[in-house]
Each structure stands twice: as C-alpha cells, then as structure tokens.
Amino acid sequence: MRIVRGKPQVQDNKQPVPVSREALAARYASVRRMSEALSRPLETDDFNLQAMPEVSPAKWHLAHTTWFFETFLLKEFQPGYKPVHAQYEYLFNSYYEQVGTPFPRARRGLLSRPTVEEIFHYRAQIDEAMTSFLANADDEHWPEIATRTQLGCHHEEQHQELFLTDIKYNFAINPLKPAYRDDLPVAAAGASVSLAWSDHPGGVQQIGHHTTGFAFDNEGPRHRILLAPYALASRPVTNGEFLEFMRAGGYDRPEYWLADGWRAAALHVGIKPSAAKLGEALTRAQGAQMPEGAPEGALQMLRQLSPLLLGAQVGSVLGALAQQVLGQYDVAVPRPAGAGALLFVVPNIAAFERDWSLDPTEFRTWIAIHEVTHRLEFSRPWALSRFRELLENFLSTLELDVEALQRRFETLDPSNPEAMQEMFAGEEGLFGTVLDAEQRLKLGRIQAFMAAAEGYGDHVMHALGRTLLGTYGRIEEAMRRYRETEQADPVFERLLGIEMKREQYRAGKAFCDTVVELTDEATLAHMWDSAEALPSLPEIDEPRLWLARSA
C-alpha cells in the first residue's frame, strides 16, 4: 500500500476487509496495548536515550506510531478533526516526505519535550479518537479506512521490534549493563543445540504473497524465481560461533561480505578507531575552548551532539564512497595480513565504463592492476601498525576549534536538510582543527605515508598500463578528469580533518618516476622494505635526498 496525502492510493494486494468494525477495533486496541506493555520495564530516563544516530528513543517510537494513525486516518477522514499539536507532524514524521520535512533522525534524542507523560497522553487522546472513529466511520470510505488501520497496526508492530532492538543497544553501551528485564531465565553457557544442515535442491520456485491475509506491497505479486541448490542451518548462529568467525579473520575476508558491508568493514580496520579518537578530541575541546561565560546548556548540548555529529559525518563519507569506489583499495588504507580475495564494486565499475565510453575488459584490467599494486604495498607486515600509529599519534593531541563549530551551528537551519547535507559533505568536513608546529610535523608523516603509497601505485599502474592496455591513454584521461572533481581525499579530509590533497598524491608519483629515471625499479622498491625506508615529505619533493639516505 502506498499513501499519498490528500489522495489515497492503494496498490491492489487483494487485501480482505476485516469481518467487522468490532474485530478491527479489537485488533487496534490489542496492538496499542502491546506497545505500552513493552514500555513498562523502562524508567523515565530510559525513554529519551539515543546512543547512536541509527537508533531512536523509545519515546519517539511511541509518538511516531501514534502520529501515523492521526495523520493518515483522523486527519484524512474525520470531519472537523483538529490535530493534538501542530508541531507533532514535524517532530514525529520519519521519512514520509510527501507529508512534510521530518525532524532530523540523528537529533531525536535531543528532544526533552514533549515529555514522556505528554507522549502517553497523546497516545490516549488518539486511541479515544480512533475508537470512536472506527465505530462511526461512513460506509463509503470504510474499505480504505479498514485497509489503512490494518496497515497502521502492522506498522506499529514493526516499531515494537525496533523499540526492543534500540533499547538493547542503548543499554549495551552503559557500563552498568542494565537489563531490560531481569525475570527471564538465563541459558546455561555452552548449552546450544548441535548444528545440522538441511539440503535443498533449488530449482524454479514460487515466491511472494498469495493468501488472503495481510501483506505489504513489496511482498507481491506472486512470481517465479530460479534458486541455486542451497542448505539451511537447523538453528541460528550462537554468540560463541560469531566470536569464532571474528577471531578467524571474518572481518578481513571480502568473500563473506556484500559490497556495502565490506566497504564499512574496510574503513573499520584503519579509520574507525581513528574516528573515535576524533570524538575524544571533541570532548576534550568542549571544556577547554568554550567561550568564557558560555551557558552550561550550550556545553551540555555539544556533549550530546558530539557522538551524533561524528556518526553523521562518518555516514556522509560512507554514503559518498558507496557511489564512487571501484575496488576495496579506493579506500587506500592498509589491511591485516591474509585479507583474502580482492573485491571489485561491479555496479560502480559498469557505470564508470558507460559514462566514459571505456572498453570493459581494458578498464577492469586497469582496476585489477590498481588493486594488486596496493595489496602488494599494504601487505607488508609493518604497514598496518605504522598507519595506525601515525593516525593515533596525530589525533591523540589534536585540538578542535569548538568556537568555529558553534558558529557553524548558529547559522544552520535544522529544518533545511540540504544545508545540513552540505555541511557534512563539504571538503573541510565538520570539525575545524587547530594545528601547532608539533601537529603539523605529525600531519606531514601521515601525508608522506599516503603520498608514497598512492604515488607508487600510480607509478606502477602507468608503467604496466601503457604496455598492456591499448586504450590506456583514454583510461588515464578519464581518471584524471574524474579526480579533478574532488581535490581532496574524502576519508581523510572530511572524516578525520587531515589535509590530504590530490596534488600530494601526484607528487608521490613524480618522486617514484624520478627515482627510476636516476636508478631503477629495484631501487625504488626498497621504499617498502620498512617503515623507516619510506620517504619523508622533503624527500618526496627532492628524491635525491632519499637516494642519498638509502644508499
């Protein structure tokens, strides 16, 4: 079913109208009671928790499901209906853009008002109105009203699952380890049932809704699919088995992941720990750099905002990468040893080939050279530890300009999602940094590492590409023009506040080209013998200094 404000449109799922108004009213009341029953184990302070942008406060779930019935039933079909509160449509909308712009998801936990008591009162008001409405709705609109009410009940049941999932996460980050309920039996350790597998031959199968019960529109129509042979486990994976998967390197093996998951896992290896350091730097800076006499409320707001803002910044960078990366080493960070097979993002590769009219075989060969070269560089046993050391050393003493951050938020309109997106997506990133002489020295070491890695990769790709690929010149020109659209590396510049310009990568390639011109490829390859063998920024600018040191 698809709802359009003011013009209901229902896809024909062949949904039956409930037998009676009484049956539908009973179903409505039962679902609503269940939401409130799930709320009883919570203390008042628990209702407003939002430990990360992807979860929502319990209070918001209770209000949003109520808003659904008010918006799509009472406002639409109850003559003379007046909303409980004019702003609730803004606060408790989720993603129904046709209704209006919703309040930003990542900031739901900042809403101390309306209070928990007011939300429960809101629910009671809508329940009373809905009970009367269902009993007295006119027959002409009853099929549509019944269908929407049924949809609203299933919608609320979905949010009951989200309610519990979000509470689980919100409680899990608390060092006190609070339990949602402490009256349930605890399974004995190691008591899992033995695992068995059930083989299925696959073949042509039917999938999709075809009965007379409720279904969402994306569950139909019934259609045929071809399944390869498969096997199903006799039970879910246990926590212990999942730990074994992680300890065995499951997060480092791309063959176990879909493309989006692997990109996130790849960032986790080298970037997420450093992003956490950035969050710590923001927390330190809040107390040290707030203007003298600043109200305590402003400081508390920044403390609450810091994890949400960092999460939104990470999400912005990941979202951009998801549309752009061609292979796993487009996020050019070292991986653990034994990182498994190379990963190629085929949809993005195919789109790039179409956009730039490139020969698929030759372009994919070029990408393979790029990936193998970076695998060679970053597979050195010291590369990952050195990379993390450089980042953590830089971020551990980083100072952030909280006053500049405050000024940016003073000029930001929260109701303008485009402006917020621009703030997160801009090359300067969200967090302004203050660099002293020591920090600039640490930054230079990171820049030298990345310039050497990218420069060496480009050097090898050019040497092999012009020999192996007949259309190498066209590929090189396409990549040059493509990279011109982004002057900085988004992972470093926007996520970590580390200045990493594309020009520095070009300087790295020039360094490699010059060393080979003066000596040979074998001499250049010695730069990967150890962390100490890598060139510094001054040596990248003047390769003869590196050659003299390496002699």
Mapping DSSP onto H, E and C, the string for 105-135 reads HHHHHHCCCCCHHHHHHHHHHHHHHHHHHHH
- Higher per-residue confidence, 72 vs 437: 72
Domain identity same for 144 and 262: no
Domain identity same for 336 and 463: yes
In this prediction, residue 321 carries a pLDDT of 47
Domain identity same for 266 and 144: no
- Among the residue ranges 93-107, 204-218, 281-295, 380-394, the one predicted with the least confidence is 281-295
- Residue 234 in any domain: the answer is no
Domain identity same for 289 and 433: yes
Q: For the chain, what is the mean pLDDT?
A: 79
Domain identity same for 375 and 514: yes
- Higher per-residue confidence, 322 vs 45: 45
Q: Which of 127, 151, 172 is the last residue of a domain?
A: 172
The whole-number average pLDDT for the span 201-226 is: 88
- Higher per-residue confidence, 186 vs 398: 186
Over 90: is that where the pLDDT of 494 sits?
no
- Residue 245 in any domain: the answer is no
In this prediction, residue 333 carries a pLDDT of 61
Return the half-sphere exposure (C-beta side, CA atoms, 13 A cut-off) of residue 169. Answer: 15
Domain identity same for 338 and 449: yes
- Residue 338 in any domain: the answer is yes
Over 90: is that where the pLDDT of 171 sits?
yes
Domain identity same for 156 and 261: no
Helix (H) or strand (E) holding 10: none
Query: How buried is residue 283: exposed, middle or buried, by Cβ count under 10 Å (0-12/13-18/19+)?
Result: middle
Q: Which of 150, 172, 194 is the last residue of a domain?
A: 172
Q: What is the pLDDT of residues 273-294, one digit of tens each?
A: 555 555 555 555 555 544 555 5
- Among the residue ranges 64-68, 229-233, 316-320, 368-372, the one predicted with the least confidence is 316-320
The whole-number average pLDDT for the span 14-34 is: 82
Over 50: is that where the pLDDT of 252 sits?
yes
In this prediction, residue 5 carries a pLDDT of 43
Provide the domain limits for residue 388: 251-550
The Cα–Cα gap between 102 and 420 comes to 13
- Higher per-residue confidence, 5 vs 30: 30
Amino acid identity of 212?
T
Three-class DSSP category at 481: helix
From the list 380, 278, 395, the residue with the least C-alpha distance to 335 is 380
- Residue 236 in any domain: the answer is no
- Residue 4 in any domain: the answer is no
Q: Which of 111, 138, 172 is the last residue of a domain?
A: 172
Residues 6+ apart with CB under 8 A from 537: 444, 447, 448, 451
Q: How many domains does the chain have?
A: 2
- Among the residue ranges 176-190, 304-318, 319-333, 338-352, the one predicted with the least confidence is 304-318
Domain identity same for 136 and 264: no
The whole-number average pLDDT for the span 349-359 is: 90
In this prediction, residue 10 carries a pLDDT of 39
Over 70: is that where the pLDDT of 337 sits?
no
pLDDT band at 80 (very low <50, low <70, confident <90, very high): very high
How many other CB atoms sit within 10 Å of the CB of residue 133? 19
Say what the pTM is. 0.57
pLDDT band at 56 (very low <50, low <70, confident <90, very high): very high
Domain identity same for 444 and 335: yes
Backbone φ and ψ for 530, nearest 5 degrees, come out as -160, 170
Domain identity same for 163 and 276: no
Percent of the chain with pLDDT strictly greater than 70: 70
Three-class DSSP category at 416: coil
Peptide bond into 336 cis (omega under 30): no
- Higher per-residue confidence, 181 vs 502: 181
Q: What is the pLDDT of residues 119-140, one digit of tens each?
A: 999 999 999 999 999 999 998 9
The Cα–Cα gap between 191 and 22 comes to 46
pLDDT band at 442 (very low <50, low <70, confident <90, very high): confident
- Residue 266 in any domain: the answer is yes
Domain identity same for 134 and 262: no
In this prediction, residue 327 carries a pLDDT of 61
- Residue 412 in any domain: the answer is yes
Domain identity same for 147 and 272: no
- Residue 10 in any domain: the answer is no
Is the CB of residue 447 less than 8 Å from the CB of residue 500? yes
Over 70: is that where the pLDDT of 186 sits?
yes
- Among the residue ranges 48-57, 212-221, 225-234, the one predicted with the least confidence is 212-221
In this prediction, residue 299 carries a pLDDT of 47
